[in-house]
């Protein structure tokens, strides 16, 4: 089990963030139509991004243990001991991602991100 490097993690992040942005943009456009047509309460644009981020990471990592970015880089999420992570591990990992300063903890956590450290997971080569 070889842990992936920072470059792979950055590539995963860029691919996943791009996909999350596209999905949230489409969802936002659909909801804006609903606001105009049905008179729903408008929501700020960032709320669509945050909702999509949480649903995207939770669904992909809980079902397949990887996101499209991780599929592209041939990596996956495992517990620190190498076993399959539970739903609770994935939920913690997903919710901590909402913290914008997650990546700032890398120098202080031996190269791990905050969401890896708090959930007891790591990303390895598949």
Count Cα neighbours of 66 within 13 Å in the Cβ-side half-sphere.
16
**pLDDT of 98:** 87
* pLDDT tier at 101, thresholds 50, 70, 90: confident
**pLDDT of 93:** 94
Give the span between the Cα atoms of 30 and 84, in whole angstroms: 36
Q: What is the mean pLDDT of residues 114-125?
A: 93
pTM of the model: 0.91
SS3 category, 5: coil
Percent of the chain with pLDDT over 90: 74
Give the span between the Cα atoms of 107 and 86, in whole angstroms: 27
pLDDT, greater one: 71 or 103: 71
Domain ranges of the chain: 6-125
**pLDDT of 6:** 84
| Tens digits of residue pLDDT in 30-72 | 999 999 899 888 999 899 999 999 999 999 999 999 999 999 9
**pLDDT of 56:** 98
Contact 93, 103 (CB under 8 A): no
Cα 67 → chain centroid:
8
């Amino acid at each position: 089990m070889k842990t992936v490097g920072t470059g792979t993690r950055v590539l995963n992040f860029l691919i996943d963030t791009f996909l999350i942005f596209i999905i949230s943009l489409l969802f936002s456009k659909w909801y804006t139509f609903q606001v105009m047509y049905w008179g729903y309460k408008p929501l700020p644009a960032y709320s669509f991004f945050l909702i999509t981020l949480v649903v995207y990471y939770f669904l992909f990592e809980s079902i397949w243990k990887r996101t499209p970015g991780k599929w592209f880089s041939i990596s996956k999420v495992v517990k620190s001991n190498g076993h399959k992570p539970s739903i609770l591990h994935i939920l913690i990992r997903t919710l901590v991602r909402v913290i914008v300063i997650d990546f700032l903890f890398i120098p202080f956590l031996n190269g791990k991100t905050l969401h890896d450290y708090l959930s007891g997971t790591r990303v390895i080569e598949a």
